[in-house]
């Protein structure tokens, strides 16, 4: 087709009015055009538990949901506040242990232990991270990386919370429908809630702290307050993931503090497209099943996993969602020259 | 000038390691002054602004604003009192449209109290207030300019955006760190009336400048800095006539000084 007398023309769709962030909508077609991708995501996630029949893969759905929450928490804090936290595993562990303790010691059902672990764990993690908030860039990352390592060794050395054995006998969900649908609904609420938040005036202050914290200070705003609030939001989401994890596996142990929970969400964010919020969810949806499929390769699993990650980063370094969003808003056609 | 000074800088000093950036600088700025600060590169002008606004801690000395000591308060507290600053290297929020840049200062406690530049104690819708401020400062409302990403704006608009960010707080005092540098003659010519209008409205300005001709047109007091010290202070005419100033800028005319 690409002969001498035709060329490819690329246009932005008319709907994208040239004032970034503001869309002028002028009819049903355009509304449909904007709603379609959201609908596909919502319907797709809600159908997932129905179409997957294999019990093993049904469990994977829940794990995907948990990693999606963690990736969302990482993406928000990194790309909207500028704090690159490697302490995701710490958040998961705190949420997990808290939920397990609330359930086994106080006898609270998951209906109460999960929300309490979310908020309480968020508060605890925020207080723990508070001394690091003046740090910027790689210094913040390195210090937050120490938290899960530290917590793991403290639990081991002091033999608290069951030590290396962990806390057993944590209540599970009544059935898989409650487990999966509550998780999917919570995930969707978190995703759309965060997307809304980052475009409110409060969200703009978060983004300004990332862009340029000096100018925010010069505007009479105490940036420590806003960093604290952002860490609380992010930590709460990850604690929520941790609480789910513990109730699904019916066990809380030091492996909930494993660095996988810090690293895999970052990989999911990179693959999905950082700063899009929906990208990390998509990334988790791709990465976690791939990781399960690769179990067939035994020890070589990590090798293939790393190769896939590298290929993604080399060939689509912007991330799937960034690429997809750009393509969705453009259309190409061949025109006669 | 009668009445107590708005800003009193008393004998402040600051060293970065072995480099004495400021040594014993004192001056007073009165309400409605346009107070110029000039000096060769490296003479401590920006450090002076950073010290007054709390971005660096001073080693000794005192800064009073409206009779209250503000030395070494954190920057956001100083800004909250109405002492704002622009940055020499412009610091807009590049990922946001121009008018959204003003949401951040309008979100501050001070803007909520004062209502912004023209708010009269009540803060309206932040988007509207932001666009109003941009219009007053020279962003054409009906053009696309206020809605463009800050990263796509030319220098002239970015300098105005820096000022707008200060004005959104309804400040008492603005410290302008080289707002004219990098601007064309016509852009500067259009900024000067704005500066004068701010003075008429009762906003006090401290202006660090290298563009002496333009500065001397608007300033009523000028402080000359050299090697972190105050060289002289006076009216623009006095400063221009002083041989020490020429020496600081152009080097000594008499070689025997060095021998």
Reported as a single tens digit per residue, the pLDDT across A70-113 is 999 999 999 999 999 999 999 999 999 999 999 999 999 999 99
Same domain, B184 and B259: yes
Same domain, B114 and B183: no
Report how far residue B74's alpha carbon sits from residue B85's, in angstroms, rounded to the nearest whole number.
Answer: 14
Note whether A219 contacts B: Cβ–Cβ < 8 A: yes
Note whether B105 contacts A: Cβ–Cβ < 8 A: yes
* Total domains present in chain B: 2
Report how far residue A222's alpha carbon sits from residue A205's, in angstroms, rounded to the nearest whole number.
Answer: 11
Averaged over A314-337, what is the pLDDT? 82
Residue of chain B with shortest Cα separation from A200:
B103
Residue of chain A with shortest Cα separation from B144:
A19
Note whether A327 contacts B: Cβ–Cβ < 8 A: no
Note whether A16 contacts B: Cβ–Cβ < 8 A: no
Q: Cβ A207–B95 below 8 Å, yes or no?
A: yes
Same domain, B49 and B72: yes
pLDDT, averaged across chain A: 90
Same domain, B165 and B179: no
pLDDT the model gives residue A251: 93
Residue of chain A with shortest Cα separation from B151:
A211
CATH number at residue B237: 3.40.50.300
Of A204, A214, A222, the CB nearest to B96: A204
Same domain, B178 and B76: yes
Which chain B positions have a beta carbon within 8 Å of A212's beta carbon?
91-94
Q: Cβ B79–A217 below 8 Å, yes or no?
A: yes
Same domain, B3 and B31: yes
Dihedral through CA A212, CA B162, CA B98, CA A324, nearest 10?
-30
A49 pLDDT higher than 90: yes
Q: B91-94: long-range contacts at Cβ-Cβ below 8 A with a sequence spacing of 24 or more?
A: B91/A212, B91/A214, B91/A215, B91/B162, B92/A212, B92/A215, B92/B150, B92/B153, B92/B158, B92/B161, B92/B162, B92/B165, B93/A204, B93/A207, B93/A208, B93/A211, B93/A212, B93/A215, B93/B150, B94/A211, B94/A212, B94/B149, B94/B150, B94/B151
Same domain, B77 and B177: yes
Q: Which is nearest to A234 in space by CA: A68, A124, A67, A70?
A: A70
Same domain, B146 and B105: yes
With cut-offs at 50, 70 and 90, classify the pLDDT of residue A334. confident
pLDDT the model gives residue B247: 81
pLDDT in tens, A171-225: 999 999 999 999 999 999 999 999 999 999 999 999 999 999 999 999 999 999 9
Domain boundary among B141, B171, B201: B171
Same domain, B180 and B194: yes
Is residue B164 a part of any domain in this protein? yes
Is residue B114 a part of any domain in this protein? yes
Q: Cβ A204–B94 below 8 Å, yes or no?
A: no
Same domain, B143 and B216: no
With cut-offs at 50, 70 and 90, classify the pLDDT of residue A19. very low
Same domain, B117 and B188: no
The region of weakest confidence among A53-67, A213-227, B10-24, B232-246 is B232-246
pLDDT in tens, B87-110: 988 889 998 999 999 999 999 999
Domain span holding position B259: 1-82+173-259
**Cβ atoms of A294 and A301 closer than 8 Å:** yes
Same domain, B156 and B182: no
Which chain A positions have a beta carbon within 8 Å of B93's beta carbon?
204, 207-208, 211-212, 215
Q: Which domains does chain A have, with CATH numbers?
A: 6-336 (1.10.3470)
Is residue B87 a part of any domain in this protein? no
């Amino acid at each position: 087709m690409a002969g001498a007398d035709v060329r490819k023309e690329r246009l932005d769709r008319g709907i994208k009015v040239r004032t970034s962030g503001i869309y002028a909508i002028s009819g049903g077609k355009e509304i449909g055009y904007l709603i379609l991708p959201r609908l596909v995501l919502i319907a797709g996630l809600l159908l997932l538990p129905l179409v997957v029949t294999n019990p093993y893969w049904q469990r994977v759905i829940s794990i995907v949901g948990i990693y999606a929450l963690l990736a969302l928490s990482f993406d928000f804090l990194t790309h909207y506040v500028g704090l690159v936290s490697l302490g995701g595993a710490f958040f998961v562990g705190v949420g997990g242990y808290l939920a397990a303790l609330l359930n086994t010691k106080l006898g609270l059902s998951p209906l109460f232990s999960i929300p309490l672990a979310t908020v309480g764990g968020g508060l605890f993690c925020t207080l723990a991270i508070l001394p690091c908030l003046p740090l910027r860039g790689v210094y913040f990352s390195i210090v937050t990386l120490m938290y899960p390592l530290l917590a793991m060794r403290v639990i081991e050395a002091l033999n608290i919370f069951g030590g290396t054995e962990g806390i057993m006998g944590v209540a599970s969900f009544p059935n898989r429908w409650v487990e999966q649908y509550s998780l999917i609904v919570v995930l969707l609420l978190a995703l759309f809630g965060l997307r809304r938040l980052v475009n409110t005036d409060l969200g703009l202050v978060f983004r300004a702290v990332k862009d340029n914290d000096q100018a925010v200070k010069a505007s009479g705003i105490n940036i420590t307050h806003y960093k604290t609030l952002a860490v609380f939001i992010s930590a709460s989401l990850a604690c929520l993931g941790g609480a789910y994890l513990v109730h699904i596996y019916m066990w809380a142990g030091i492996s909930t503090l494993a660095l996988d929970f810090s690293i895999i969400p970052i990989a999911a964010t990179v693959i999905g497209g950082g700063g899009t919020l929906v990208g990390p969810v998509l990334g988790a949806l791709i990465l976690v099943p791939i990781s399960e499929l690769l179990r067939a390769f035994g020890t070589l699993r990590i090798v293939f996993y790393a190769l896939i990650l590298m290929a993604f980063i080399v060939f689509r370094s912007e991330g799937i969602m960034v690429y997809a969003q750009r393509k969705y808003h453009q259309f190409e056609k061949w025109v006669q020259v | 000038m009668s009445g107590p000074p708005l800003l009193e800088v008393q004998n402040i000093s600051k060293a970065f390691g072995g480099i004495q950036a400021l040594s014993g600088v004192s001056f007073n700025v009165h309400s409605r002054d346009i107070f110029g600060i000039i000096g060769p590169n490296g003479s401590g002008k920006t450090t002076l602004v950073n010290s007054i606004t709390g971005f660096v801690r001073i080693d000794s000395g005192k800064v009073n604003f409206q009779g209250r000591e503000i030395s070494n308060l954190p920057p956001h507290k100083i800004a909250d009192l109405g002492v704002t600053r622009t940055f020499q290297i412009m610091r807009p929020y590049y990922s946001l449209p121009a008018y959204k840049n003003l949401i951040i200062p309008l979100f501050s406690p001070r803007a909520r109290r004062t209502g912004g530049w023209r708010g009269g104690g009540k803060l309206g819708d932040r988007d509207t207030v932001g666009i109003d401020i941009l219009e007053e400062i020279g962003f054409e409302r009906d053009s696309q300019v206020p809605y463009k990403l800050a990263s796509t704006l030319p220098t002239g608009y970015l300098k105005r955006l820096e000022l707008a960010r200060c004005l959104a707080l309804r400040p008492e005092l603005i410290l302008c760190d080289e707002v004219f540098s990098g601007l064309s003659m016509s852009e500067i010519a259009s900024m000067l009336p704005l500066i004068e209008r701010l003075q008429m409205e009762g906003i006090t300005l401290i202006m660090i400048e290298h563009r002496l001709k333009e500065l001397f047109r608007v300033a009523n007091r000028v402080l000359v800095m050299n090697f972190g010290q105050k060289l002289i202070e006076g009216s623009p005419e006095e400063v221009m006539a002083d041989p020490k100033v020429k020496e600081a800028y152009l080097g000594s005319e008499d070689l025997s000084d060095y021998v």
